[in-house]
Structure 1
Amino acid sequence: MRLVTPLVLGGADPSGPPELRAPAFKGLLRYWYRAVDPAYQSREARVFGGVGPGEGQACFLLRVTGEHLQTATFHLNERRDGKDARAGLRYLTYSLTARGRERLFFKPGQTITLHFLFKKRPGEQQDRRAILASIWLLGHLGGAGARIRRGMGTVALTRWSVVDPAGHEVEAWPEMQELPIAHGAASVDEWLRRFESGLSCLQRWFGEADTRHPTHTTLGPGSRFVLLELPPARRGEDAWENALNEAGLALHRFRLRRGVARADGDGDYHRAKRLLLRLDPASGPARREAPARARTGREIAPERVAFGLPLQFRFTSLQGRSIMFRGKQHDRSASRLWIRPIDLGDRQALLFALLPSPLLAPGEPIRAEVRRERVELDLPGDHILMEFLDSLSGREVTWPCG
């Protein structure tokens, strides 16, 4: 697998040098297998191991290696003409680039190898499919380490093979021929053909998942993929920086339009400010109006919580007062939107993927916090995520494919 963007994968010392840890990658493979197989509960322990009665070790041992991997530290202080030249990249990586909190990472452009060591070849076809599907999804949609849903730690599957104990290549599993690798495509059209063919193959292998009420990230109806071709990177700028900067700018512009620049004054920014003033009257006079409410009678949370939690609004017009939104039981919830740079020879593209997954546990409300004041809110739905994808002028793939 080729590192497309910096890989921030902490070890025993999170602030120390990054480490290639097999358990981290095994967990990612399990994650993607659950996403694609609706019947994962009946096979997962046999393939990836389990701790239940009669379960045990995985059917393989995993090693992750990389030769002479180079590391570096983020430095995003460059400005041109008095403006932040990489504001979009900073927007996506703020937790990694805050002054004094810079993290070490494995530099992009390098290669890591995942070695699956089997005592014997997996006899069940569905076991082989489970292993290959998890590798393929990790190398086409996922990544490793910090900020993977915002493009960091992107890994691209470049090739796979089967070797004997002496290290000689032997006959590949027949399932490998069914699942095309998109990396190495020279154009958007070719990459999309390979990618869509791979998704169609996974659909044939595992069937259709019910994504109406997902309990975890799930590949199935409701999944959307938009590929956006980018102009060449500016001179002196790495291609991955250019790609993530464009992604961050697109996301930031959309959030501003929906949050602040709405002509009706009912964007997320204004709604959050009015809620803050109701919870903390000392901040200023509150406008008297009836907020939008759900059937539960609770007020509806700002739309932007659908991008992930926690979400904080800070208002300079109110002496820096802020309001925080998070789950009542869960402080954090990962975004359902994945951003991934794609190499296309001398150019790059951006893949935006929306995968069905729960924002919070069933029935769990959002909690707004202002100082010691708390109020429970209902979830707003996913329409803002759909509208963001609609705002992109790219090529789209939806599920089911083909």
Structure 2
Amino acid sequence: MRIEATYYITTPMFMGGADNKSELELRTPSLKGLLRFWFRAVAWPQMGLLKEVFEMENSIFGSTEGQAKFFMKIDDSIFIHSKKEIFNKNTYGLNYLGYGLTERGELIRSYIEKGKSFTISLLLKDSLSEKELRFLKQSLQALGLFGGAGARSRRGFGSLSLVSLRVENNEEWNEPRNVKELKNLLRGFLNEVSRDDTLPPYTAFSSKTRIFVKKGDKDPLALLNEVGMELLKYRSYGRASKDKHVLPWGEKAERIFADDHDLMLDFLNGKRINRIPQRVVFGLPHNYFFSGKGKVSIEPHSKGQKRRASPLFIHIHKLADGSYVAVLSLIPSQFLPPNVNVEIKAGRQTTIVPPQIDYNVISNFLERPTLKAEVVWPDE
């Protein structure tokens, strides 16, 4: 049996080889790893036991004890590699979301251009069960509804839109023609997989998942830039300018999280603190820079774990009518493993505090009237 899934690249994809500044390739192991990630996301709410999830994962995708139950091939012959500048002094949102892709304002990595498609072909072994086939199809769908590939994919770069899913040449996927059809697809998918009410132990769908859709038009990068600017406005303390703090484009900063700024300044000044900044919920490491005072770094206090990826997924989706929308997903889970705290340090000064996380900080961003995003899930 053969499955063919075709994806449309809606935003520039920064996916490379060993030298990711000049080499570009869409490697089979990388795509297989993405499917493993989304398999775990859909499997947990339907299975609910870690042991069962990992046994099923190893059975489908292979492990040191056995091969995968499918052979995988990627048709990427039509990719166009580019280093054309996509960031400039006016793309404040893209610059913010693409942190690390530029250096001193200049793009330092080449990318696979948006606007192209590729097909993943899976040749299934006879040993694949019906249940495993269902999970495999759900993983392919989740990648093309919520995800992307390459650097900064959780921040909207390398977004992939599923346009076709064929099983033995039978089409099992209808590309949404408009926003209404996309919303129905998202609700139907989540109704199928999200049956668990507990907070997952890792990034996985649950009843606590929240999905929003923001309408755009014909320019996916303009839409991503708009989302990025809104996130920057929400999170930024601003830069001091005369008697106020301003954003990079001169607008007065809202300073919603002024307490975070003051807390880290207190720490730099030698005061004892017993909590973490609220914005840590967006991911670790989390850094602060104070002119003339230095840098504060926040990361997991664990030798085996130095980061925690963001639970906020930004995905730009192409519709059949040629327009684009942003699918914004909050996928909460246990923030750090049990007994792992957060380390705050500045120079030789260090303190360890528990990870007190409030996912409402991200929910409040998604509900901002100025973001103009509509809730899709939970389905009310």
CA contact (8 A) 1:226 1:353 kept: yes
Q: After superposition, where does 1:188-199 map in structure 2 within 5 Å?
A: 188-199=179-190
1:211 correspondence with 2:198? yes
CA contact (8 A) 1:47 1:58 kept: yes
Match of 1:73 in 2: 83
Q: Cα RMSD between the aligned structures? A: 2.5
1:41 correspondence with 2:54? yes
Displacement over 6 Å in runs of 4+: 257-260, 262-265
1:389 correspondence with 2:380? no
1:116 shift after superposition: 0.4
Match of 1:354 in 2: 330
Match of 2:96 in 1: 91
Match of 1:250 among 209, 226, 230: 230
1:77 shift after superposition: 5.3
1:335 correspondence with 2:344? no
Match of 1:369 in 2: 345
Say which SS state the counterpart of residue 108 (structure 1) adopts: coil
Say which SS state the counterpart of residue 149 (structure 2) adopts: coil
Q: Deviations over 1:286-342 (max 9, x none)?
A: xxxx85xxxxxxx110001110111111112xx151111111113211000001112
1:210 shift after superposition: 4.9
1:380 shift after superposition: 3.1
1:130 correspondence with 2:135? yes
* Shift in alpha-carbon separation, 1:91–1:50, aligned structure 2, 3 A: same
CA contact (8 A) 2:276 2:356 kept: yes
* Shift in alpha-carbon separation, 1:396–1:258, aligned structure 2, 3 A: farther
| Unmatched 5+ stretches in structure 1 | 79-83, 164-168, 234-238, 280-289, 292-298
1:62 correspondence with 2:62? no
Q: Deviations over 1:213-261 (max 9, x none)?
A: x32111011100011113x46xxxxx22201111111111111379986
Q: Work out the CA distance in 1 between the residues paired with 2:294 and 2:54.
A: 47
CA contact (8 A) 2:313 2:329 kept: yes
Q: Which has the larger radius of gyration?
A: 1
Q: Work out the CA distance in 1 between the residues paired with 2:298 and 2:111.
A: 30
CA contact (8 A) 2:236 2:255 kept: no
Match of 2:161 among 156, 172, 194: 156
1:394 shift after superposition: 1.9
1:118 shift after superposition: 2.3
Q: TM-score, normalised by structure 1?
A: 0.80
The percentage of counterpart residues that share the same residue type is 28
Q: Deviations over 1:55-75 (max 9, x none)?
A: 411110111121231011252
1:278 shift after superposition: 1.3
Q: Which structure shows the bigger proportion of residues in strand conformation?
A: 2
Aligned length: 348
| Unmatched 5+ stretches in structure 2 | 1-6, 48-52, 240-244, 246-252
